[in-house]
Amino acid sequence: MSENYNETVSRWTRQIINKSLSHIEKVIYSIPAERFTQVNQPFVVAEFGCSTGASSVETLDIIIKTVRSRSSQVPIIIYLNDLPDNHHALALQTVTDGLKPLPSNVFIYLAGCDFLQQVFPE
């Protein structure tokens, strides 16, 4: 896979992302406020099929900012998932570079498996 793959995110992907962002915010705001007082229970995000991470950054940024608007202390765990032969180092670099500075109490994990399997602990 080419290192400049991140520059080739297609127009239809961009349109889908733009349409999804406001829905994502609404979903997070619809979660009861009590959930965000539980600072020992992380807010978990799974990005299935992250590829190189280029299509993930804006969405993850909105999720982090929206969760932070509800609580500055709830840990946020992000699972970037794709098949084992994915370029995971590029995905991690793209996401962390895109979220710079990486907000405190945000943790990013890579899961190199088919999402039809169990991807993260129960």
Looking at residue 9, its pLDDT comes to: 52
Each domain of the chain, given as residue ranges in start order, spans: 42-122
Of residues 15 and 74, which shows the higher confidence score?
74
Q: Is the pLDDT of residue 98 over 90?
A: yes
48 contact partners, CB below 8 Å, separation of at least 6 = 81, 82, 115, 119
What predicted TM-score, i.e. pTM, was given to this entire model? Answer: 0.84
Longest dimension (CA), the chain: 45
For residue 7, what pLDDT band results from cuts at 50, 70 and 90? low
Instruction: Determine the length of the chain.
Output: 122
| CB-CB neighbours of 63 under 10 Å | 22
CATH 3.65.10.10 fits 42-122, yes or no: no
pLDDT tens readout for residues 35-54:
999 999 999 999 998 888 88
- pLDDT (average), residues 6-11: 56
Q: Which residue has the tokens 């979903």?
A: 27
